[in-house]
Amino acid sequence: MKKTWLTAILAAGALTLAGCNSDNSTEGASSGEGGSFEPSKTIEVVAPAGAGGGWDTTAREVARIFGETGIIEENLTVINKEGGGGAIGWAYIHGQDGSAHNMFVASPPLMFVPLNGQSEHGHEDFTPLANVIADYGAFAVSADSEWDDLNDLFDQMKEDPESVTVVGTSSPGSMDHMQFVRIAKAAGVDPTKIKYVSAQDGGALTSVLNGSVDVFSTGVGETVEQVRAGNIKVLGITAEERMEGEVLSEFPTAIEQGIDESFINWRGFFGPPNMDQAAIDYYEEKFKELSESEEFAEVRKKYGWSEMYMSGEEYKEFLDTEKQEIQTLLEEIGLGN
Amino acid sequence: MDAFQGLLAGFQVALSWEGILFVLIGVVVGTLIGMMPGLGPISAIAIMIPITYGMDPAPALVMMAGVYYGAVFGGSTSSILLNAPGISGTVATSFDGYPMAQQGKAGKALAIAAIASFFGGTVSVIMLMLLAPALASVAISFGPPAYFALMLMGLTAISSLSEGSTIKAMISAVAGIMVVTIGIDPQTGTQRFTFGNVNLLDGFDFLVIALGLFAIAEVCMLIMNRKNRNLSDDQKLGSLKVTRADLKEMSGPMTRQSFVGFMLGVLPGAGATIASFISYIFEKKISKNPEEFGKGSIKGLAAPESSNNAATSGAFVPLLSLGIPGSGTTAVMLGAFLVLGVQPGPLLMSDRPEIFWGIIASMYLGNIFLLVLNLPLIPYLAKILSIPRPLLISLVIMFSLIGVYSISFNTFDLYMLLLFGALGFAMRVFSFPAPPFILAFILGGMMEQAFRQSMTISNGSLSIFVNSPLPLALIIVSLLSLTIPALIKWRSRRLLLKQ
């Protein structure tokens, strides 16, 4: 560990010198924080899940754009640390204390999983670098359903909560469940009476299509193709404003239906605990460049993600408030730890 | 564009030089990875995703599909030669394939597996081509109650998977169900039997158990029975020749199980592993000589092999026509589609016909490549058995370790592999059959989840299982399959007593 520190300081020193000599210091190197930082070896980006999922895709696309645009010149490699809904990957990164060459991609499960008692590590145990994108939840029903908007659905749930089943991919207390609870509660539904089942391997969409369950709580992106084919309809999404893009812009928000609540599926990058301030500054800057690049705008468009850059204190505050809200809600429905 | 025109466009993609090249690359990589014990299509596809960045989506996806069914094709090799399943879909292949190899008929076993795989693969591509749009509705016809009934039907067959003591088979099955409950319970989010260990949160991967109970246990047996030279230098490859009589014997199971496998593959969540088990049991149940099964039966080898390959094509139905991934492997495939900017789903056929039909058309080609590549390789593959035994044993152990490590790059899984190896060895010594354990593990977990989903939906009323025709029919079939053999036994005993 000491050796790495020394090398980092030496490298940083050498770079500052080099910067002075060649006087093309384009970036105002954050002096006063102990010099600037440049990665000196391959940066490891952990996707705490298997290949093909949301975390993996985000990590790989971000690493690809960093490489293709040359925003970060050093290599970035994505590795998958699958297990425990993220807990295995988080435990791994937590063990890389102080390293400036490790980071991982995260989203609300970094709060849900520890709050459900399934991980020792939560977002406050890591170094938030930057948020890059926002995604939103969608509540979909079969195309021939009698409900046409969220209020139809929630009226039915207020009258006879036992008659409506909600399905999602993850377990109760996790994102698919809680985004629905959050909106439903704001609409006046008793949050303790919501019936939720979890189904893996494509079972969630299947059981909505064949009518075994009533409502599918999922991400907006998962619904687009089925809506275009006329198989399902989206009653509402959790964004604050209408989204942009074909099909996406047709989805009504909960807010415009008079339900004053939203839920952001934020996605950002975190480093191990005790990352050096110079390295944090470096990554904040780089992620900002990435977020503003045209290449990354293409990626957002491809997956239907929205732009949402946040860093520093603003990001920390946002995360803390979100966690507080989730915790309160979990306690209310009796799932809090 | 109608289906015929679409298919023509598909063949244009598949038969372009690019198409042919990438199908070939796909199936070669797939077979090679499938042959390694434990390394399966998931890791192969995941590795190849970054390679396809910037590629034209049609050849890239044709290649990915080739990796997938190529791995299932190649997976039988190590099941037959080493009793170490190459992929999870070929565990049932070892039930009769390994005994055949031990009897000095390794070459023949590999040839039968290749022919059955080719047959299953080709029949299912024809069905995929003709029925994919129509089958989309079949893929979503199963709700939680029907899945419960289907799994129940599979579990009632446990007794037929074992010889000797039924009680021991039941104990083995119950142990399998107990092991599958380890981990986070999806319906409540609570941890079960994890003892606070993060490595147990997701429970055990199927391959850890399959490689432990089969490959490692087999290795232990070989070491213990050092004097029996049943796997050593003097082992013969045996004739490669599949006689006309053999072909006749396998034609029935191949035809039947290609259909069964395909239909099970269409159902999200079922897939090649479950299909191969159910086909094996199916053939054993209808066979006139069920006692031959497990001792090197040609039928017992052909059935799971045609079924798992057919199921692989079947899995493309929900993926391509609905955008629903029915398994871990197809979920990774879905990711590969999205990276290339192709959205599989109900509109794929009209939006991107060249991709939809290109993949299907390429499968004809891929299956032919696989057969042509695999048959001449058999003599060389079977030479594995002439590797001196100490070396071979070390290789099996090494490959099993690599395979398990590649699942999630976690050393904890390696210890668990050894644990299940020890368990498998103990089970052999005390003659507890391993197949019921494996079957209960793959069916039990889904059965429990489907049962509890049903109970939540129906607010706790069991009537949900008899109120709709599909689960009701499946439950009746499982009841019959339990009672009829017992009735026959009882009647024959009474007849004996009368005499």
For residues A252 and A269, membership in a common domain is answered with no
Check CB contact under 8 Å for A206 and B143. yes
Smallest Cβ distance to B334: which of A52, A84, A302? A52
Smallest Cβ distance to B198: which of A79, A84, A206? A84
Q: What residues are paired with A76 via a beta bridge? A: A43
B140 CB neighbours in chain A (<8 A) are 206, 209-210
For residues A245 and A205, membership in a common domain is answered with yes
B53 CB neighbours in chain A (<8 A) are 64
User: How many contacts, defined by CB atoms under 8 Å, are there between A and B?
Assistant: 166
Whether B343 has its CB under 8 Å from any CB of chain A: the answer is yes
Classify residue A13: in a domain, yes or no. no
A195 CB neighbours in chain B (<8 A) are 456-457, 459
Check CB contact under 8 Å for A212 and B457. yes
For residues A178 and A108, membership in a common domain is answered with no
Q: Which of B53, B135, B201, B334 to mutate to test the interface with A (most CBs of A within 10 A)?
A: B201
The answer for residues whose C-beta is within 8 angstroms of residue A138's C-beta and 6 or more apart is A217, A218, A219, A220, A222, A223, A234, A236, A237, A238, A251
Classify residue A1: in a domain, yes or no. no
Residue span of the structural domain in which A96 resides: 24-135+265-332
Helix (H, G, I), strand (E, B) or coil at A86: helix
Check CB contact under 8 Å for B332 and A52. yes
Looking at A225, A257, A289, which one is the last position of a domain?
A: A257
Classify residue A223: in a domain, yes or no. yes
Can you say whether residue B269 is alpha, beta or left, with left for phi > 0 and alpha for psi between -120 and 50 degrees? left
Classify residue A54: in a domain, yes or no. yes
The residue type at B169: A
CA–CA gap between residue B83 and residue B76 (Å, rounded): 10
For residues A85 and A195, membership in a common domain is answered with no
Q: E-strand spans in B86-220?
A: 183-184, 191-192
Classify residue A90: in a domain, yes or no. yes
CATH number of the domain residue A305 falls in: 3.40.190.150
Question: pLDDT tens across B191-215, in order?
Answer: 899 898 888 888 998 889 999 999 9
Classify residue A337: in a domain, yes or no. no
Q: Which pLDDT value is given to residue A12?
A: 47
Classify residue A307: in a domain, yes or no. yes
Distances (CA, A) of A202 to B270, B308, B346: 11, 20, 15
Question: What does DSSP assign to residue A42?
Answer: P
Smallest Cβ distance to B453: which of A170, A199, A202? A199
For residues A306 and A223, membership in a common domain is answered with no
Chain B (173-192) residues lying within 8 Å, Cβ to Cβ, of chain A: 184-189, 191
Looking at A194, A228, A257, which one is the last position of a domain?
A: A257
Q: Which residues of B362-375 are buried (b: 16+ CB within 10 A; e: fewer)?
A: bbbbbbebbbebbe
Q: Which helix (H) or strand (E) holds B453?
A: helix B435-457
For residues A195 and A269, membership in a common domain is answered with no
For residues A131 and A204, membership in a common domain is answered with no
For residues A129 and A269, membership in a common domain is answered with yes
Number of domains, chain A: 2
The residue in chain B having the minimum alpha-carbon distance to the alpha carbon of residue A200 is: B269
CATH number of the domain residue A253 falls in: 3.40.190.10
CA–CA gap between residue B321 and residue B309 (Å, rounded): 19
Q: Which of B43, B184, B465, B467 to mutate to test the interface with A (most CBs of A within 10 A)?
A: B184
CA–CA gap between residue B364 and residue B127 (Å, rounded): 12
How does strand A264-271 pair with strand A102-106? antiparallel
The residue in chain A having the minimum alpha-carbon distance to the alpha carbon of residue B202 is: A84
Q: Which pLDDT value is given to residue B25?
A: 93
Smallest Cβ distance to A198: which of B49, B187, B457? B187
Can you say whether residue A103 is alpha, beta or left, with left for phi > 0 and alpha for psi between -120 and 50 degrees? beta
For residues A253 and A144, membership in a common domain is answered with yes
Q: Residue A214 is encoded by which pair of tokens?
A: 């009533």
Q: Residue A131 is encoded by which pair of tokens?
A: 């948020």
For residues A270 and A312, membership in a common domain is answered with yes
Check CB contact under 8 Å for B318 and A202. yes
Q: Which of A163, A220, A225 to mutate to test the interface with B (most CBs of B within 10 A)?
A: A225
Chain B (64-83) residues lying within 8 Å, Cβ to Cβ, of chain A: none
Smallest Cβ distance to B189: which of A119, A173, A226? A173
Angle at B331 between CA B147 and CA A170, to 5 degrees: 65
Question: pLDDT tens across B416-471, in order?
Answer: 999 999 999 999 999 998 989 998 998 898 899 999 999 999 999 999 999 989 99
A213 CB neighbours in chain B (<8 A) are 143, 457
Q: pLDDT means per 10 residues in chain A (337 residues)?
A: 45 44 39 70 92 86 93 92 87 93 96 90 95 95 95 95 93 93 95 92 88 94 90 95 91 96 96 95 95 94 91 94 94 81
Q: What is the pTM for the complete model shown?
A: 0.84
Q: Which helix (H) or strand (E) holds A271?
A: strand A264-271
ipTM, 2 dp = 0.82
For residues A245 and A291, membership in a common domain is answered with no
Low-confidence ranges of chain B (pLDDT < 50): 231-234
B325 CB neighbours in chain A (<8 A) are 201-202
A117 CB neighbours in chain B (<8 A) are 191
Classify residue A7: in a domain, yes or no. no
For residues A277 and A177, membership in a common domain is answered with no
